[in-house]
Structure 1
Amino acid sequence: MKFLSARTLSFSMIFSIATLLAASLLFLAPSASTSDADTLPPFTPADVPPAPDYAEASSWLDLPENPDQFGVDIIWLYPTVLVDNSAWLMDITRKDLIAGAAESVATEARIFSGQANLYAPLYRQMNLAGFNLPEEQRDAIVAYGEDDAKRAMAYYMEHYNKGRPFILAAHSQGSYVLTQLLVDYWGKLGIEDQLIAGYVVGWSVTHQDLKDNPAITICEEARQTGCFVSYNSVAPGRQEASPLILPGAIVVNPLTWTREETLAPASRNRGSTFFNQDHTYQILPEFASAQIADGGLAVVAKDPARLNSPYFPQGVYHGYDYPLFYENIMSNAAQRIQTYLDARK
Structure 2
Amino acid sequence: MHFLPERFSRFINISRISALCGALFIFSAHLATASDTGELPPFTPADVPPAPDYAVASSWLDLPKNPDRFAVDIIWLYPTVLVDNSAWLMDITRKDLIAGAAESVATEARIFSGQANLYAPLYRQMNLAGFNLPEAERDAIVAYGEDDAKRAMAYYMEHYNKGRPFILAAHSQGSYVLTQLLVDYWGKLGIEDRLIAGYVVGWSLTRQDLKDNPAITICENALQTGCFVSYNSVAPGRQKASPLILPGAIVVNPLTWTREDTLAPASDNRGSTFFNKDHTYQILPGFASAQIADGGLAVVAKDPERLNSPFFPEGVYHGFDYPLFYENIMANASQRIQTYLAGRE
TM-score over 0.5 (shorter chain) = yes
Report the Cα distance in structure 2 between the residues aligned to 1:89 and 1:201, rounded to whole angstroms. Answer: 22
Q: Retained in 2: the 8 A contact 1:21–1:172?
A: no
Q: 1:15 to 1:44 in 2, by over 3 A?
A: farther
Match of 2:103 in 1: 103
The residue type paired with residue 288 of structure 1 is A
Report Cα offsets for 1:212-270 as digits up to 9, x if no partner: 00000000000000000000000000001101000000000000000000000000000
Match runs of 1:105-184 below 5 Å: 105-184=105-184
Cα displacement (A) at 1:39:
1.8
Mapped partners of 1:59, 1:29: distance in 2: 23
Please list, as runs of the form range in 1=range in 2, the aligned pairs for 1:84-95 lying within 5 A after superposition. Answer: 84-95=84-95
Distance 1:325 1:133 in 2: 33
Q: What CA distance in whole angstroms lies between the structure 1 residues aligned with 2:168 and 2:270?
A: 22
Q: 1:21 to 1:257 in 2, by over 3 A?
A: farther
Structure 1 residues 44 and 227: alpha-carbon distance in aligned structure 2, compared to 1, 3 A threshold: same
CA displacement at 1:15 relative to structure 2: 5.2
Query: Does structure 2 retain, via aligned residues, the 8 Å contact 1:27–1:79?
Result: no
1:116 deviates by 0.1
Match of 1:67 in 2: 67
Match of 2:11 in 1: 16
Which consecutive segments of 4 or more residues in structure 1 shift more than 4 A? 17-21
Q: Secondary structure at the match of 1:197?
A: strand
Tell me which amino acid in the other structure corresponds to 1:22. C
2:30 alignment partner, SS class: coil
Q: Return 5+ residue gaps in structure 1 as ranges.
A: none
Taking the TM superposition and a 5 Å limit, the aligned residue runs for 1:328-343 are 328-343=328-343
Cα distance, 1:313 vs. partner? 1.3
Q: Distance in 2 between matches of 1:205 and 1:293?
A: 15
CA distance in 2, matches of 1:28, 1:71: 35
**What is the identity, as a one-letter code, of the residue corresponding to 2:11?**
S
Distance, in Å, in 2 between the alignment partners of 1:149 and 1:25 is 21
Contact 2:208 2:248 (8 Å CA) reproduced: yes
Q: Give the Cα separation in 1 of the matches to 2:326 and 2:25.
A: 18
Provide the secondary structure at the position in 1 that maps to 2:302. Answer: coil
Matched-pair contact (CA < 8 Å) for 1:90–1:124 = yes
Contact 1:80–1:128 (Cα < 8 Å) also in 2: yes
Distance in 2 of aligned mates of 1:302 and 1:123: 37
State the distance in 2 between where 1:15 and 1:147 align: 29
Displacement of 1:118 after TM fit? 0.2
CA distance in structure 1 between the partners assigned to 2:332 and 2:205 by the alignment: 20
TM-score, structure 1 as length reference? 0.95
CA distance in 2, matches of 1:14, 1:213: 29
| 1:82 equivalent in structure 2 | 82
Amino acid at match of 2:306: R
Provide the C-alpha distance between the structure 2 equivalents of 1:331 and 1:21, rounded to a whole number of angstroms.
30
Rate the CA distance shift 1:341–1:21 in 2: closer, same or farther, 3 A: farther
Partner Cα distance (2:9, 2:213) in 1 = 24
Structure 2 match to 1:264:
264
Unpaired stretches in structure 2, ≥5 consecutive residues: none
In the alignment, is the contact (CA less than 8 A) between 2:196 and 2:337 conserved in 1?
yes
TM-score, with normalisation over the residues of structure 2?
A: 0.95
The answer on whether the counterparts of 1:15 and 1:131 sit within 8 Å (CA) in structure 2 is no
**Paired position in structure 1 for 2:248:** 248
Map of 1:147-296 to 2, 5 A cutoff?
Answer: 147-296=147-296
Offset, 1:25: 4.2
Question: How much has 1:325 moved relative to structure 2?
Answer: 0.1
Pick closer, same or farther for the CA change 1:205–1:158 going to 2, 3 Å. Answer: same
CA–CA separation in structure 1 for the residues paired with 2:240 and 2:212: 25
Q: How many residues align?
A: 340
Distance 1:150-1:257 versus aligned 2 partners, 3 A rule: same
CA shift at 1:309, angstroms? 1.9
